[in-house]
Structures are given as C-alpha cells and as structure tokens.
C-alpha cells in the first residue's frame, strides 16, 4: 500500500531506520501523529516482524503510566535485535517492572530531588557556557557531539557521582543507546 501526502510518498508498512525513512523521518513522524498515532510497521533490523510505534506524547505517557501495561509479557518472544538495542531493553531500570523498578529507582532517587537538582543550576550553566565557548564563530560542528550529548551526560554523571575517569564509559553507553534508537548500528 502507498500513501501520498505533502510531497511525501509513504510505502506501507513503514520501516523505521531504513534509508527512505531516515531521509524524511520528521515528515514520517508527522504523518504518523496525524493519521496513525499507533502505527503497525517494521524496524530496520527486524523486518520479518511487525512492531507498533506510538507517536503522540499523551499516548506514550499513558503507556508508561498505566499499571496494566507491562514491560515484559510472559511467553512473548523477544525481537532479534542488534546488541546496541538489546542493551536498552534488558537490564536497565527503565525497562523493569515493579517491584524491581521501584527498588532500583530508590537507589538513585536521592540524586534527582528538586533540592539536589537546584544546586546543579550553576554547574549546568558553567558546563553549557564552557561548551559554547569552545565553538568558533563560523565553524562547522556536529551539534549532537559538541553540545547536545555532553551537557546531559556531564550533568547525570555529576548527579549520580560517576568518577571523572569513568565518565567516558557512560558517554560511550549513551552513544550506543542513541545509535540503537536511531537504527544506525
């Protein structure tokens, strides 16, 4: 099946991560939000199985807050995902169900209280200014690598107390996760 809209021809099912998708991903996501907020499509790495994409914020929020929705369903076959994506969906806190999720969350929650975070405001400003000061006017940069990735990884490292000499590991892990999410690995 094919859909044409706003100078974009969509071949169904959409394969997220394909070259065609990546070249027009914002337009594809916009189409999904407008016409198919819960879309049955494919992932580049697992084209033999359908997956569901949820594209609207309130629907995503409902998915992660509704206690009837489980992260792990008994008897479900896991998708044959590449290692980078598999790492995201196995032993991380965000993909655990209660009571394990709650137990892990309690271990780090003290680092994310409003009071603790308010003490970081000056540090966040210092980090962002430092990164911006390193950029030269007219210089071509990769904004994700030079700014968008270092700011949150530095702040999270400081929030949870990752030693300076181990921070590269956290950054590497974040890059692997981003590659997996962007279907580039």
pLDDT tens-digit map of 16-61: 888 888 888 888 889 999 999 999 998 877 767 788 889 899 998 9
In the prediction, which pLDDT does 58 show? 92
> What string of DSSP letters covers 98-166?
TTHHHHHHHHHGGGGSHHHHHTTHHHHHHHHHHHHHHSPTT----HIIIIITHHHHHHHHHHHT--GGG
**pLDDT for res 70:** 73
pTM for the full model?
A: 0.49
pLDDT tens, residue by residue, 114-150: 888 788 888 889 999 999 999 887 888 888 888 888 8
Query: What is the arithmetic mean of pLDDT over 76-98?
Result: 68
Q: How far apart are CA 56 and CA 53, in angstroms?
A: 10
């Amino acid at each position: 099946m094919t859909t044409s809209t706003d100078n974009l021809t969509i071949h169904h099912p959409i394969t997220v991560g394909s070259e065609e998708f990546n070249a027009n991903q914002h337009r594809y996501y916009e189409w999904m939000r407008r016409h198919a907020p819960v879309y049955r499509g494919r992932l580049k790495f697992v084209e033999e199985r359908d997956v569901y994409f949820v594209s609207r914020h309130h629907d995503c929020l409902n998915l992660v807050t509704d206690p009837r929705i489980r992260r792990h369903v008994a008897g479900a076959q896991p998708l044959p995902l590449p290692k980078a994506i598999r790492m995201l969906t196995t032993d991380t806190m965000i993909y655990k169900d209660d009571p394990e999720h709650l137990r892990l969350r309690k271990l780090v929650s003290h680092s994310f209280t409003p009071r603790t975070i308010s003490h970081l405001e000056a540090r966040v400003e210092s980090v962002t200014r430092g990164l911006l000061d390193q950029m030269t006017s007219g210089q071509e940069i990769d904004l994700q690598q030079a700014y968008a990735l270092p700011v949150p990884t530095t702040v999270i490292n400081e929030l949870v107390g990752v030693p300076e000499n181990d921070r590269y590991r956290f950054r590497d892990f974040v890059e692997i996760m981003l590659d997996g999410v962007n279907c580039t690995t």
